[in-house]
Structure 1
Amino acid sequence: MVRRALRIRRRWQLASGGLAFLVTATIASSALASGPEGRQQLATRGGSVVSIRAGHRTPFVIAHRGASRYAPENTLAAVDAAHRRGLVWVENDVQRTKDGRLIVMHDTTLNRTTNAAEVFPHRAPWRVRDFTAAEIARLDAGRWFGKRFAGVRVPTLTDYLRRLDHNHQGLLLELKVPEQYPGIEAQALSELRARGWLDHTHLRQRLVIQSFCVRCVKRVHKLMPQVRTGILGRPSIGKLRRYARFADEINPRMSQVSSRWARAVHRLRGPHGQRLEIYAWDVGADASVRAVRTRAVEGVID
């Protein structure tokens, strides 16, 4: 824990005047758009799906796994921490339990961010898919991050969506290792629909589904063409035109973005008629306004 805290502090020191400025700029722009319809009022084009960052001149910041520098990743506490800092979009990871429930968890195993090894000592390697939702609900998902988060639980996707709606936040939802969970694309869409997240407002302004699995992104688009989608990673320039048929965003590591590649992405339009966008992750100490603008990305997932 001490080592993690030092690493976080060091990273923020390196990024001072950079990502901290980006967050401040995002807060300022978001504050101008508060209202009963949600904290982010985005410009629309004839009622079509709109960009995450529409109306923002500064590179946009999406809270990676929630505000995971301030609270345990992928928990409701991280969602609220992002909300308190004015961040109107969060990213999360969705997987499926043994009994078919969708939960929010990054790792395919439970032992890094919960006390699964203590509660279930004989069930290594503690794979998410080997535990029921009730078993996972028993786990502490916050104590590893800090004592004051002891007792924080792994949220279900339903709980997570409910909290985002309460906070008027948007969601960049990653289908994690969907190859391990056949049919998770349709299941996620079904749960989003049940929670009201496939209505006109959410589809236009508050939802993007992404994955490293290109086939899965294509499947989401086929099942629900109105949903904005993103492909994680850096596909070759030769594949971009084909991917633009079913993806609105291409989201690589920051270190993988070159000016030539970014220009190739931005020359194309996605399935909703808008220019393909780039949201970079694993930003690290490169997160300054100048660095992000030089890489020609719309925003960062950090």
Structure 2
Amino acid sequence: MLTRAAVATTTAAISAVVFLQPGAPAQAAPSARAAEEITVISHRGASGHAPENTLAAVDKARELGFDWVENDVQRTRDGELVVLHDTDLKRTTDVEQVFPDRSPWKVADFTAAEIARLDAGSWYGQEYAGARVPTLKQYLERVDENRQKLLLEIKAPELYPGIENDVLRVLGEQNWLDASHLARRLVVQSFSAPSLRTLHAERPDVVTGFLGAPPVSELGAYGQFADQINPSAATLTAGYVDAVHAVRGAHGKPLTMSTWTVNDAQTARRVAGYGVDGIITNVPDVVRDAISSS
């Protein structure tokens, strides 16, 4: 997904990108990368140190010295975009106590005002009691205030028809679709290829990433609408990384890769040796130390 100097797909202003034929083979990249060339991305904020997807987790990532944060976006019953990973509210809020009769507590069944009442921090630790589920607007404001960069996942878009345009609307309202943000500070990703195609069709200047590991034979097709292929680290191989780097993405540059979710030093060193561009982790300090010492 990115390098500390910025990802291959986002280092130049989008308006200056030369659009070659997407999906065409690119020159193969070397397998190994220096530690400073690998971007460490704080998963749901620094979620190993603070409650995930809260503003506290964003601030913790900044405190630890990390620019890139990842988060998930969903839509409430009344159309507000909120930052939350699970499609229900049970695991990371006190929704069962506040709304005991509203099972199964799906995000889409609650209004933004109802979700704003929930405690999204106590489950992690009492020092975070009272932390709230942020709206996407609140989240963008904090990331901007911290001068950070955002990897935004559209979560379960099949549950929220039209969410791609909603996301683009809020990004635009918060000035995240200007040349500076598009070139260096924003990537939108999803497990859903149709969702990414929709978003790319609406705003082809937005850098996009597909979460998963398409077959090598299909990478060219994914390169029509994606700039990144972001697979799980569990089954990742050096050969697959090289195959991804050998294909051009939607902006005419070689596809890049960030792998997830890497939370131990051994795995961090393994995937760094494969030549990944970024590592997504709950504990960015652990990953940074591991790849810096390898």
Match of 2:135 among 156, 164, 170: 156
Give the counterpart letter for 2:101 in structure 1.
H
Give the counterpart letter for 1:217 in structure 2.
L
Verify: 1:62 aligned to 2:32, yes or no.
Answer: no
Q: 1:286 to 1:46 in 2, by over 3 A?
A: same
Q: 1:49 to 1:257 in 2, by over 3 A?
A: farther
Shift of 1:98: 0.5
State how far apart, in whole Å, the 1-side matches of 2:204 and 2:271 are. 30
| Counterpart for residue 175 of structure 1 | 154
State how far apart, in whole Å, the 1-side matches of 2:155 and 2:138 are. 18
Aligned length: 261
Q: TM-score, structure 2 length as denominator?
A: 0.84
State whether residues 49 and 204 of structure 1, in contact with CA within 8 Å, keep that contact through their aligned partners in structure 2.
Answer: no
User: Aligned residues: percent identity?
Assistant: 51
After the TM superposition, which segments of 4 or more aligned residues of structure 1 sit over 6 Å from their partners? none
| Counterpart for residue 69 of structure 2 | 90
State whether residues 153 and 190 of structure 2, in contact with CA within 8 Å, keep that contact through their aligned partners in structure 1.
Answer: yes
Shift of 1:258: 1.3
SS at match of 1:91: strand
Verify: 1:235 aligned to 2:203, yes or no.
Answer: no
State whether residues 59 and 292 of structure 1, in contact with CA within 8 Å, keep that contact through their aligned partners in structure 2.
Answer: no
Shift of 1:300: 0.6
Question: 1:195-234 maps to which residues of 2 (within 5 A)?
Answer: 195-234=174-213
Give the counterpart letter for 1:154 in structure 2.
V
State how far apart, in whole Å, the 2-side matches of 1:300 and 1:287 are. 13
Q: TM-score, structure 1 length as denominator?
A: 0.82
State how far apart, in whole Å, the 1-side matches of 2:14 and 2:142 are. 30
SS at match of 2:234: helix
| Counterpart for residue 188 of structure 1 | 167
What root-mean-square deviation, in Å, do the aligned CA atoms of Structure 1 and Structure 2 show? Answer: 2.1
The structure with higher relative contact order (CA 8 Å, sep 6+) is: 2
Gaps of 5+ in 1: 1-25, 34-41
Shift of 1:261: 1.4
Gaps of 5+ in 2: 19-33, 282-294
| Counterpart for residue 7 of structure 1 | none
Match of 1:144 among 106, 119, 123: 123
1:127-177 deviation line (CA, Å, top 9, x unaligned): 000000000000000000000100000000000000011001110000000
SS at match of 2:188: strand
